[in-house]
Structure 1
Amino acid sequence: MLQYLFPRLRAAGTALTATLTLAAATTALLAPAPAARAQGTYPNKPIRLVVPFSAGSATDILARILSSKIGEGGGYTVIVENRPGAGGTLGAAIVAKSAPDGYTLALVSIGHAINATLYPRLSYDTLKDFAPVSMVATVPNVLVVNATGPYHSVRDILAAAKARPGTLNFDSAGSGSSTHLSGELFKLQAGIDILHIPYKGTGEALTDIMAGRADFMFAPTVSAMPFVRQGKLRALAVATAQRAATLPDLPTVAEAGLPGYAFDSWFGVLAPAGTPKEIVDALNAQIAKALVAPDVRERLAAQGAEARGSTPQAFAATLRSEVARLAPVVRQAGIRGGQ
Structure 2
Amino acid sequence: MFKTLICSAAVLAASLAPAAAAFPDRPLRIVSGSAAGGSSDFVGRVVADAVGTIFGQRIVVENRTGVNGVLGAEAVVNSPADGYTTFVCPMSTATITPQLLGARMPVDPGTDLGPVAVVTMSSYGLVVRAESPYRSLNDIVEAARRRPGELTYASPGVGSAQHLGGELLKQLTRTDISHISFRGAAPAMLEILAGRIDFSMTNLGDAVGHIQGGRLRLLGIADGTPSPIFPEARPLAESVPGLEVVGWFGICARRDIPAEALARWTDGIRQALADETVRERIVAGGMTPHFEDTATFQRRMTADRENWLRVIQAVNIRAD
- Same structural fold, with TM-score higher than 0.5 when normalized by the shorter chain: yes
Q: Deviations over 1:270-297 (max 9, x none)?
A: 0112001111010010111111110111
1:71 aligns with 2:71: no
Q: CA deviation at 1:132?
A: 1.1
Q: Provide the residue aligned with 2:71 in structure 1.
A: 90
Distance (whole Å) between structure 2 residues aligned to residue 192 and residue 292 of structure 1 = 44
2:269 to 278, 283, 287: 287
Distance (whole Å) between structure 2 residues aligned to residue 59 and residue 316 of structure 1 = 19
Q: Provide the residue aligned with 1:332 in structure 2.
A: 314
Identical amino acids, percent of aligned pairs: 34
**Matched positions, count:** 306
Q: What amino acid is the match of 1:254?
A: A
Q: Provide the residue aligned with 1:305 in structure 2.
A: 287
More deviation, 234-243/185-194: 234-243
Q: What amino acid is the match of 1:172?
A: S
Question: Runs in 1 of length 4+ with deviation above 6 angstroms?
Answer: 15-19
Q: Provide the residue aligned with 2:23 in structure 1.
A: 42
More deviation, 97-106/196-205: 97-106
- Are the aligned partners of 2:70 and 2:108 in contact in 1 as well (CA < 8 Å)? no
1:212 aligns with 2:165: no
Q: CA deviation at 1:126?
A: 3.8
- Secondary structure in structure 1 of the residue aligned to 2:217: strand
Q: Provide the residue aligned with 2:147 in structure 1.
A: 164
Q: Deviations over 1:93-149 (max 9, x none)?
A: 111222111111100111121123126332224444212110110110111000011
1:193 aligns with 2:176: yes
Distance (whole Å) between structure 1 residues aligned to residue 309 and residue 242 of structure 2 = 18
Note the 1:106-145 alignment, pairs <5 A.
106-111=87-92, 112-118=94-100, 120-145=103-128
- Are the aligned partners of 1:187 and 1:194 in contact in 2 as well (CA < 8 Å)? yes
More deviation, 92-101/279-288: 92-101
Distance (whole Å) between structure 2 residues aligned to residue 203 and residue 80 of structure 1 = 20
1:177 aligns with 2:160: yes
Q: Provide the residue aligned with 2:3 in structure 1.
A: none
Residue segments in structure 1 that go unaligned for 5+ positions in a row? 1-14, 20-36
Distance (whole Å) between structure 1 residues aligned to residue 41 and residue 207 of structure 2 = 14
Distance (whole Å) between structure 2 residues aligned to residue 226 and residue 79 of structure 1 = 26
Residue segments in structure 2 that go unaligned for 5+ positions in a row? 1-13
More deviation, 115-124/284-293: 115-124
Q: What amino acid is the match of 1:196?
A: H
Distance (whole Å) between structure 2 residues aligned to residue 212 and residue 127 of structure 1 = 36
Q: Deviations over 1:210-253 (max 9, x none)?
A: 11010000111111111111111001001113332432210011
RMSD of the alignment, in Å? 2.0
- Are the aligned partners of 1:66 and 1:290 in contact in 2 as well (CA < 8 Å)? yes
2:243 to 240, 246, 261: 261
Q: CA deviation at 1:16?
A: 7.0
Distance (whole Å) between structure 1 residues aligned to residue 70 and residue 284 of structure 2 = 29
Distance (whole Å) between structure 2 residues aligned to residue 41 and residue 144 of structure 1 = 48
- Secondary structure in structure 2 of the residue aligned to 1:80: strand
- Secondary structure in structure 1 of the residue aligned to 2:89: strand
- Are the aligned partners of 2:23 and 2:260 in contact in 1 as well (CA < 8 Å)? no
Using the size of structure 2 for normalisation, the TM-score is: 0.91
Q: CA deviation at 1:42?
A: 1.6
Q: What amino acid is the match of 2:160?
A: S
Structure showing greater radius of gyration is: 2
Distance (whole Å) between structure 2 residues aligned to residue 138 and residue 127 of structure 1 = 17
Distance (whole Å) between structure 2 residues aligned to residue 326 and residue 178 of structure 1 = 9
Distance (whole Å) between structure 1 residues aligned to residue 80 and residue 40 of structure 2 = 23
Distance (whole Å) between structure 2 residues aligned to residue 254 and residue 196 of structure 1 = 21
